[in-house]
Structure 1
Amino acid sequence: MADQTVEGSPGPIDKVTDIGRDIGEYIRQQRNNAKISLRQLSRLAGVSNPYLSQIERGVRKPSAEILQQIAKGLRISAEALYVQAGILDVPTGGPVPDAIRADTGLTERQKQVLLDVYESFRRESTAAGNTDDPSDPPPPRAEPTAERPADIAGEE
């Protein structure tokens, strides 16, 4: 049975075109944020200038390999481009990863580094058997003593 669409609603071909346009706009935005020209990105990514231009304009939909090369040229995570292109689902997270991803003051590269560090701490904590409830209050601070002056005890 052929795909049927209601008049005015996008069909499968339109959806692919939208994905191509979305990823192209995203790449252009990241390139502009990085303050590099189309030619510079073309050289850095090893993708021809005309092809990269077609991707940015939504005329071509890049493969995962091309997205990886572009991500390398932009110095952002390939995962970010894969999610934008619809190749990967949006990663699950929680309040901390969601806040990092939502921060418009960070570049994609900075977000990825923060997420990597956060996840490594989570894995380390889990491996050590630390299952503290994050809503538990922090342990009490050490009080200053004669052997432990205020600056060492964490007091100012």
Structure 2
Amino acid sequence: MGDHKEHQPLRVGAAVRRRRRALELTLAAVAERSGLSVPFLSQIENDKARPSRSSLEKVADALRTTAVELLAAADPACSVDLVRADGTEPDFERRVRSLVRGHHQLHASEYTGDHDEGREFQHRNDELMYVADGAVEVEAEGRAYRLGRGDTLYLTGGVRHRWRATVPDTRIIVVAVAEHIEAVQDRSR
């Protein structure tokens, strides 16, 4: 595969624990479903034990997911990742550049110029918009906000919004809590 992160052991424990808690299952319930012992499952969750592929598959089955998903949601052990301004070619169709690589708790993108202003966004979790250059008009919950360079708009999870650049070469940074994170209690309950 040649993945440069191979030397970093993935900490799958936190992903297993998040998934188990999301399903409101006890370790005992997972042990019963997977055929693995409670102490072993506890060690997996605390990253004291590294499960074999077959053990991880048993855990994944018990949590109604897959080993691949659990590994994707795993945290690389203490990583620092630098994304250079010129390091990635932006997608010039949409002129958007991701500022965070991989599967993390935060997602961030830089938008340059305009994008499909008719598109309405609604994120599950909180989001921050920062105008690095230019000007933007944001419509959120029926109100219009005009943002200039250096202005910041914070939108809590669930707020419907759309935005458009009002001057050429506008650059905005959007940072959001990733969709897979259970950051907010489900308000619909």
TM-score (norm 2): 0.36
* Greater per-residue helix proportion: 1
Bigger Rg over Cα: 1
Q: TM-score, with normalisation over the residues of structure 1?
A: 0.43
Looking at secondary structure, tell me which structure has more strand per residue: 2
